């Protein structure tokens, strides 16, 4: 197989994974909302409900970081495919990521930055604000 065919196959695989991460992120949002509603319905302590929502938020931040890595590689592949003769080697997702992998603290900071994006923070931040207001109004 020539390089263009392999790059095309890599692009298709990564694109499918990118879309699957988007679906997974939505499922995590729905799980967080369901946990919140169920916790309120069963009268669980607001602290535990908030903790469960924070865990979902963090998990989605990790998924979105993975998705961003796929996006970077997808953009590189698209740039390569736009050239008459692709010059780079296909199937290098992990090699590229390992070459520029950040250290532990930087990796966690990347997860946190992903979690703070508005499309990720919604609905977690409004849920946590609602729980905080509920606590202030009814428990203090």
Checking if the pLDDT of 13 tops 70, the result is: yes
CA–CA separation, 39 vs 53, rounded Å? Answer: 10
Q: Give the Å distances, CA to CA, from 76 to 8, 41, 101, 116, 124.
A: 12, 48, 17, 25, 32
Would you state the pLDDT for residue 91? 84
Is the pLDDT assigned to residue 100 strictly greater than 80? no
Section 104-124 average pLDDT: 92
Residue 1 has pLDDT above 70, yes or no: no
Instruction: Name the domain count of the chain.
Output: 1
Residues belonging to the chain: 140
Share of the chain above pLDDT 90, in %: 69
pLDDT mean over 80-94: 80
Domain containing 69 equals 3-139
Asked whether the predicted pLDDT for residue 31 surpasses 90, the reply is yes
Helices (H), 1-140: 3-41, 46-81, 93-99, 104-115, 118-121, 124-139
pLDDT tens string 35-84? 999 999 999 999 999 999 999 999 999 999 999 999 999 999 998 888 87
pLDDT at 86 over 70: no
């Amino acid at each position: 197989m020539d390089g263009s065919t392999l790059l095309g196959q890599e692009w298709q695989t990564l694109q499918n994974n990118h879309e699957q991460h988007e679906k997974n992120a939505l499922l995590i949002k729905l799980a967080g909302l369901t946990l919140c509603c169920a916790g309120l319905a069963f009268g669980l302590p607001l602290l535990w409900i908030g903790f469960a929502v924070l865990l979902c938020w963090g998990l989605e931040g990790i998924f979105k970081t993975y998705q961003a890595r796929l996006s970077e590689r997808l953009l590189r592949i698209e740039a390569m495919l736009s050239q008459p003769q692709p010059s780079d080697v296909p199937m290098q997702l992990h090699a590229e990521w390992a070459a520029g992998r950040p250290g532990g603290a930087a990796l966690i900071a990347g997860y946190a930055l992903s979690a703070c994006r508005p499309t990720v923070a919604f609905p977690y931040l409004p849920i946590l604000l609602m729980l905080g207001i509920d606590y202030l109004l009814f428990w203090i």
